Amino acid sequence: MSVLVGKSAPSFSASAVVDGQIVENFSLDQYKGSKYVVFFFYPKDFTFVCPTELHAFQDNLAAFEERDVAVVGCSTDTEMSHWGWTQVPRDKGGIGGVTYPLVADTNKTISAAYDVLVGDYKLGEDGSLDAEGELVAYRGLFLIDKEGIVQHQLVNNLPLGRSIKEALRMVDALQHFEENGEVCPMDWEKGSEAMEANHESTSAYLAKSAS
């Protein structure tokens, strides 16, 4: 598994569904210099754990937007599959009401670039992909800063849903560091005490935590 933290987020251009409309040539590059991005992968449309995550991101979209964060989802389904799922109401197992972009990684290259592609496959010298069985994406999540650099990544296996609270906490931690130059210790939350990046402050924090 590749570690992308500290590196530029892999660039791509692909079809996507945005607020119920299919768009072509969607790219994360549009956010560079203006927004943070939470880019998350999920295995499949029309499944069970996936809609709980997709709805959770939608239900908390305002919290991300007030932090200047764009939320973007991605799976290896087609744009037509994404669109069809958005037409199904939530109480019928669909994702009706999801407005943020859902990228269609139909040829699996985006998932491969972010190293979240599940399955046995290899790329030929001509760029062709030879696979055994079905290829889907792990539940990967990448927090990308305004310069396009990955600052946090998380990859869960297929049965394990993620935490919106943790995703927001990581955004808050990154922005606190950028704004104040203070580092954020274990279980730090917005509004709590952070630390100066030196040995004395670290020792004081550990002593306080142990008392």
Residues involved in catalysis: 50
Q: What is the DSSP string of 42-78?
A: -S-SS-SHHHHHHHHHHHTHHHHHTTTEEEEEEESS-
For tokens 């599959």, the residue is 81
Q: Please state, in angstroms and rounded to a whole number, the distance separating the CA atoms of residues 173 and 147.
A: 17
Distance (Å) of CA 80 to CA 87, 150, 160, 171:
11, 29, 26, 31
- Return the DSSP state at 7: S
- Return the DSSP state at 90: G
Sequence-ordered alpha helix ranges (H) in the chain: 49-59, 61-65, 79-86, 109-113, 164-180, 199-210
For 38-56, b/e burial (b = at least 16 CB within 10 A) is: bbbbbbbbeeebbbebbbb
